[in-house]
Structure 1
Amino acid sequence: MAVVRFVRKHVEPVVFCAQLASAFFDTGLQMVVKQRTENTTNTTTDNPDQSQNAIANFYMTFNMLTKFVPIIPALILARIGDRGYRKVPIVVPLLGYSLSRALLLFVVLLDWRIEVMYAAPVVHGLCGGFSSYWAGVMALVSASTGEDERSLCIMRTELVYGLAGFLGSLASGHLFQLYTVDLKQGVVLAGMSVALYVFCLLYATIVLQVIRSPDGLERQDSAGILSSHVERDRTIIALLFVSGILYDVAVGGGVEMLSIYVLKAPLQWSATQVGYGNAAGFLIFITSFLGVKLFTRFAVSDSSMIMIGMVSFMIGIYFMTFVTTTAMYFLARSVMLFALIPMPTIRSLLSKQVRGTSYGMTFTCLQLFFRLASLATTPIYTKIYESTLDSFPGFVFILSSCITFLSVIPISIVGCCNARQNNYEIIQGN
C-alpha cells in the first residue's frame, strides 16, 4: 500500500515512461530521416554533403514547427493549471504526443514520405507540446515541495528524466534494427514509443494525484512578487530569464547540430552508435544530480551552482569543435558532467520569486521564451553549419561556447544581489 500511495502522489513515473518513449522516437526519427535522405540524394548525386544538407533542412523545419506552434495553446493550458487544475497541462500534451508519435509508425510501416513527419510537431504543438508538458511537471513539483528542498526535488525529477533517456537511448539503436519478414526496420521501436505515451496518458489521467505543500500555500499570499522587495524581485526574474534564454540557445543550437554532425564523416555513426551517443548525453542528468547533492551539502549557493554548470558545458562544447573520432566525442561529453545543473536551478530560483498561483504561467513563459529565441537561432545555426561544412564544420560549437559565456554574466549579477541581500538580512536580524 505504501508503494501505491507513493506512486499516486509522484509525477516521476510519468516523466520516466514519457522520456523513454521520447528517446525511442528521437533515435527512430533520426535514422529514418538519414535513410530516406540518403536514398533520395544517392540517385541524383555522389556528393556526401548533399545528404547532410537535406537532413539539416528537414530538422530545421521540424524544430521550428516544434517551437512555434505550441505558443498559444501552452499559455492557455498554463492559465488553466494555475487555477487549480495542475494535471491539465500534463495530460493534454501527452495526448498530443500519443497521436503525433504514431505518425512515425505509419511512415515506417506504410512507406509514407518523410515530409509527413512535419505534421507531428503541429499535432503535439496544438496540444501544448513540451512547453506545456514540462512547465506543468515543474509547476506540480514546485507546488508540492517546500522552498528548502525545492532545488533538490526539481533536480531529482530531472534525474528521472535523464535516467529514462539514458536507458531508452541505449536500447533504441538495437530496437530500431529489430525486424522480421512481416515487420520493417524501425516498426518495433516506433510502436513501443507510442505504447509508452499511451500508458503515460492513462496514468496521468487516472492514477496521478495532486498534492500541495503547506509552504507553497503560504507563499500565495505572503511572498514572491508582491513582497516588500518588488523591484529587486523583478530585476532578479529578468536576469534569470536572460541567463536561461542565452544558455538554452547555446545548448539547443549546439546539440541540434551535434545530432547531424555525428552522421557525417569522419564519425558516420550507425543506429547503435547514435543510441550510445544519445545515452552519453543523458548521463549528464546523473552527474548533474550528484553535483547538486554534493554542492548542497557544502552550502554552495544556487547561483554558484548555475555558473559551475554553465562553465562545464562551455568547455565541453568547445572541445567538441575538434572531435574527429568516437573516443574524442565521448571525452568531450564527459567534460559536460554538470551541464544540466543550470536550468532546473534557474527554475527553482524563479519559483522562490513568484506566488504559488503563478508557477505554471512563470514556467510556461520561460519555456516559450526558449522556443521563441530558438526560432531565430535554429535557422541561423543550420545555415552557419551548412556554410562551414567543407571548411570548418565544428565552428557552430565555438559559437555555442561563446553564447554560454554571455549567459554567465546575468547569473553572476544575481549571485551578487542575493549575497548582498543575505548580508543585509543578517545585519537586520542581529
Structure 2
Amino acid sequence: MKGLLLIEPLVAFYAFATFLVYPLVPQYVYRRLWQDITNNTYPVSDNTSRCDPSNTSSHNEEVQKAASLFSLYNELISIIPSLAVTFILVAYSDQRGRKITIILPLIGSLFYALSFLAVSFFELNLYLLIVSSFVSALFGGSGTFLGGCFSYIADLCEDGQQKTLRMAGIDMVIGLLSGVASLSTGYFLRAAGFNWPFFTSALFLCFNLLYAVFILEETLQRPLDAPLDGCLRRTAMHQLAYGVYQLFAAASRRRNVLLMLLLLLFGSFSFANMGGHSMITLYELNQPLCWNEILIGYGSALSMTMFLTSFVGVTVFSRCRVPNIVIILIGILSVMAGMTLVAFAKTTLMMFLVRLPMLLAIMPFPVLRSMMSKIVSKTEQGALFACLACLDSVNNSVAIAVFSSLYAATVTWYPGFCFLLSAGLCVIPLVLLVPTTPSSGRVRDNS
C-alpha cells in the first residue's frame, strides 16, 4: 500500500502528546519536592497555606530553588547524547531518508512518558526521571524530530514561498494542538491526578509511532541495499565533521557568511526565547501569583496561541510582500516586550495579559529556516537541518540550564530577573539582523 506524504498529522499528535505532560512535569516535580522538604502533603485546593507570607513555616523559596536545580540537572544530563544523535541522524537522512529521524525520537519520547507514568504510579525516586531523560536523549529529542520533519518538507517543496508557508504551518500545528493539550491539563490533573495524563500521552505516542512506521512514505526512495557514498563509509564522528565541511566548502564566501549570520541569529534568538519561557511555570507557582493547576493550564494554552497567531502573521506578511527581515524584526520585538512585562507581572490578570505582546514571537523561526533552506542545494537540506536541529537542541538545553541556575540564585530577591535577561538578550539577534538586510532581499528574490 502506498504511504502518505503528509507530515502534519504526525506533528499534530506529537505536539498534543508532548504538551499534555509538558506543563505537568514542573508541577509534579514541585509537588514531590514540596513533600520531601516540608514533610507535608502539598496543598492542592488552598493556595494561601502555601503562599501566605505570614506563614513562618513556609518553604516555598526553598522548593523553588530545588525545583529549578532539578531542571538544571535534567537538562545537563541529556544535552550531550541528544546533540550527538541529532547531528548524526539528521545528516544521515540525506542518504537513507528522513523517517529514521522521526521514528527514533518518537521511541525516546514514548520511553520518557512511560518513565514518568512509572515514577508517578509507583511513587519511585524522583531522580529516576533524570536517568530516563538521559536514556530518552540517546534516541534524539524534539530537535531531532523537528529537524527530520523540516527536512521532509524541504524535500517536498520546490517553491520558496510554499516552503515558508509549509514550515510556518508546522509551527501553527504545534501551537494549535499544544494549546488544546495545555488547556486540558489542569482539568485532567484535578480530575484524575498525574497518572492518566502520562498514560494518555503514551497512547498518542504509540499511535504516532505506528503512523510513522507503516503509513508515512519516505521522501528519499533509496534502497537499503544500495551502496552508500564514500563519505558515509567513514566513522560517525568523521562523517559529522565531513557533513559540516561539505555544507560550506563548495559555496561562495558571500553565501557562507550569510548562512553563518542566519545561524547565529537563529541560535541567539532561540536561546533568549527558550530561556525566558522555561521559567514561567515556576514563576506562576511562586508568590504573589501562586497559581493552581487550572490557571497554569490556561496560561500554557494562551502561550501556545502564539504559534497560531505567528502562522497567521507570516501568511499575511508574505502575501503582502513584507520583507523577511521585517517579519523577523517584529517577532524579536514581540519577545522583548512580552518578557519585560512578565518580569513585573504581580497579578493573575497581568500575567494573562503579558501573553498578548508575544503573539507574534514564533514568526522568526519558520522565516529563518526557509531563508537558509533556499540558499543551500537540495542535497544539502539534511546537513542544514542537522545543524539547525543540533543548534536548537543545544540552545534549549543550555538555555534551560542557565536560566534554571539563575532563577535559583535570584528567586529570593527578584524572581523576574530571568525575564529581564531574556528581553535583554534579544538585542543580540537584533544586532545580527542588520548585516543580513542587504543579502536577504536577494535570497528571497532568487527563490
- Could you say whether these structures have the same fold, taking a TM-score greater than 0.5 normalized by the shorter chain as the test? yes
> 1:313·1:339 contact (CA, 8 Å) conserved in 2?
yes
- Which of the residues 124, 135, 141 maps onto 1:123? 135
Partner of 1:99: 111
* 1:320-399 alignment runs, 5 A limit: 320-373=342-395, 375-399=397-421
Give the number of aligned pairs: 404
Offset of residue 91 of structure 1: 0.7
Offset of residue 369 of structure 1: 2.4
> For structure 1, which segment, 281-290 or 30-39, has the greater mean C-alpha deviation from structure 2 after superposition?
30-39
Query: Any unmatched runs of 5+ in structure 2?
Result: 41-56, 221-246
Offset of residue 17 of structure 1: 0.6
One-letter amino acid matched to 2:37:
T
Partner of 2:93: 81
- Which of the residues 164, 174, 191 maps onto 2:187? 174
Q: Using structure 1 for the length normalisation, give the TM-score.
A: 0.89
Using the aligned pairs only, state the percent identity.
25
Q: Residues 59-96 of structure 1, C-alpha deviation per residue, up to 9 Å, x if partnerless?
A: 11112234332122112211321114111100111111
SS at match of 1:62: helix
> For structure 1, which segment, 62-71 or 262-271, has the greater mean C-alpha deviation from structure 2 after superposition?
62-71
In the alignment, structure 1 residue 196 sits paired with structure 2 residue 204: yes
Structure 1: distance between partners of 2:322 and 2:149: 26
One-letter amino acid matched to 1:121:
S
Partner of 1:162: 175
Partner of 2:26: 30
Partner of 2:276: 254
Offset of residue 122 of structure 1: 1.3
Q: Residues 198-231 of structure 1, C-alpha deviation per residue, up to 9 Å, x if partnerless?
A: 110110110011347xxxxxxxxxxx9688x711
Structure 1: distance between partners of 2:401 and 2:136: 21
Structure 1: distance between partners of 2:219 and 2:403: 42
> 2:72·2:405 contact (CA, 8 Å) conserved in 1?
no
One-letter amino acid matched to 1:131:
G
Partner of 1:219: none
Structure 1: distance between partners of 2:398 and 2:199: 33
Query: Any unmatched runs of 5+ in structure 1?
Result: 180-184, 213-223, 426-430
Structure 2: distance between partners of 1:163 and 1:422: 28
Q: Residues 87-109 of structure 1, C-alpha deviation per residue, up to 9 Å, x if partnerless?
A: 11001111111112101111111
Structure 2: distance between partners of 1:171 and 1:163: 13
SS at match of 1:149: helix
Offset of residue 375 of structure 1: 4.8
One-letter amino acid matched to 2:36:
T
One-letter amino acid matched to 2:204:
L
> For structure 1, which segment, 372-381 or 264-273, has the greater mean C-alpha deviation from structure 2 after superposition?
372-381
When residues 276 and 380 of structure 1 are mapped into structure 2, their CA distance, relative to the original with a 3 A threshold, is: same
* 1:307-322 alignment runs, 5 A limit: 307-322=329-344
Structure 2: distance between partners of 1:422 and 1:300: 11
> 2:23·2:281 contact (CA, 8 Å) conserved in 1?
no
Partner of 1:40: 36
Q: Residues 365-410 of structure 1, C-alpha deviation per residue, up to 9 Å, x if partnerless?
A: 1232233345544443223222322222111111111111211121
SS at match of 2:306: helix
When residues 418 and 35 of structure 1 are mapped into structure 2, their CA distance, relative to the original with a 3 A threshold, is: closer
Offset of residue 25 of structure 1: 1.7
Partner of 2:241: none
Structure 2: distance between partners of 1:167 and 1:377: 26
> 2:111·2:136 contact (CA, 8 Å) conserved in 1?
yes
Structure 2: distance between partners of 1:211 and 1:60: 38
Offset of residue 134 of structure 1: 0.8
Of structures 1 and 2, the one with the larger relative CO (CA 8 A, separation 6+) is 2
Q: Residues 5-25 of structure 1, C-alpha deviation per residue, up to 9 Å, x if partnerless?
A: 9x9221111101111010112
Q: Using structure 2 for the length normalisation, give the TM-score.
A: 0.85
Q: Residues 132-158 of structure 1, C-alpha deviation per residue, up to 9 Å, x if partnerless?
A: 111000100111112231111100111
